[in-house]
A = this chain, B = another copy of it.
């Protein structure tokens, strides 16, 4: 369950050294005057390489450079900005396999998911190129003669992106690709435990100022925790549901914000679905994420392993429930039978632990789905149009992502990604998410010689 040293040789293909890497990219140069840290392989907790972090001075230098760049960048016509993002996408495309491999190595997710994550950034680049000609404002009819009303969208200036360990590439991609075509410069602070992928991306992503110390920002777009449920109705396709639950609960070792943690089963299919799941869970191959056939890699850190153990308290273990002995952060995929009132069910956990719950009616299932503080993702499995349309309507799921017959995880970039309630309310990626990276002005231009007032007011 470890990884051999030759495995690291590919790092040089994407500009990384196995020893010393400067962690700070500013104004076209790599700097680093802060502490030296090691990045660890979660499959064996051994160092992969060293990284020199930014000092506070490096950070200040970076922000100043960014402010200057912002004034220039926001005046570059949007379609020209789009062409630069296109070139970034092409650069990533040419290194797709290496970057995916690095992601697996440093974060711990299986290779198919590592490559899929980099692909998502490439997809975002392609999407953003088209978007660069469609950041449209509006011409709105004015109630006053010889007046024109315009809704204009202008850049914010600098956009800071702080990404977590679980999606170090994709979340940058969602934000940076769009922020860039919108005319902003981007300051990126990657997760402290995935510095190599941060550096590798920045080497390809020329327009971000990359930082390894904290940044702060004014306007915020929050993408916080999830505590996501899958509902299986009595008329569901059981096989489709079971396969989806497996991917949603075990994929990425349960460390996605869209991971399924609560499985709500109609009483009439409760036994049948669990039976299928127990069979699949026993066949899940645990091991080196870079190895073919592995479905469950290590958790990202030793701390995650401890949280896993807390997360199984208070319920009845149906399968799994134990950490795997040895050097890496491996745990067993786990299903727990538990009451929906249990405290542990209300909190987010980043581990492959699934809570199984029973319900009697559609309304009850929706109520349980909506009963947690988080509101990110949710799925129903059903063959009834009535259930489907109620589920996506005003009395249905209160989440930002509302799926039917697919898992809670695995969103496409064309839609808006994000959730309500404690999840934060922000939206990333597709739809009109780009508006969050711009400021809106309602402009009224009087091109006549009179001064008529709105609402027909006569003053003076």
* Contact yes or no, B152 A440, CB < 8 A: no
**Shortest Cβ distance from A453 into chain B, in angstroms?**
5
The reply to whether A447 and B147 form a contact with Cβ atoms under 8 Å apart is no
Identify which of B384, B415, B441 contacts A400 (C-beta below 8 A): B441
Asked if B141 contacts A138 (CB within 8 A), the reply is no
Query: A112-B457, A139-B139, A442-B401 are contacts. A447–B75 as well, Cβ < 8 Å?
Result: no
* 21 cross-chain CB contacts under 8 A: A74-B394, A126-B130, A127-B129, A129-B129, A134-B414, A136-B141, A139-B153, A140-B414, A146-B389, A243-B460, A246-B459, A284-B460, A295-B460, A385-B385, A389-B445, A389-B447, A400-B439, A400-B442, A403-B443, A406-B451, A415-B442
- A-B contact sample (6 more), CB < 8 A, given A403-B446, A405-B445: A129-B130, A143-B414, A280-B460, A401-B443, A406-B451, A410-B455
Judging by beta carbons under 8 Å apart, are B151 and A456 in contact?
no
Residue ranges of A at the interface with B (Cβ–Cβ < 8 Å): 71, 74-80, 82-83, 86, 112-113, 116-117, 119-120, 123, 126-155, 183, 218-219, 237, 240, 243-244, 246-247, 251, 280, 284, 295, 383-386, 388-390, 392-406, 410-417, 420-421, 425, 427, 430-431, 439-449, 451, 453-460
Those 6 A-B pairs whose CB atoms lie nearest each other, nearest first:
A130-B130, A137-B139, A78-B141, A133-B414, A405-B446, A415-B442
Residues of B within 8 A of A388 (CB): 385, 445, 447
Q: Which residues of B contact A86 (CB under 8 A)?
A: 126
Chain B contacts for A240, CB-based, 8 A: 446, 449, 451
Residue in chain B with minimal CB distance to A413: B133
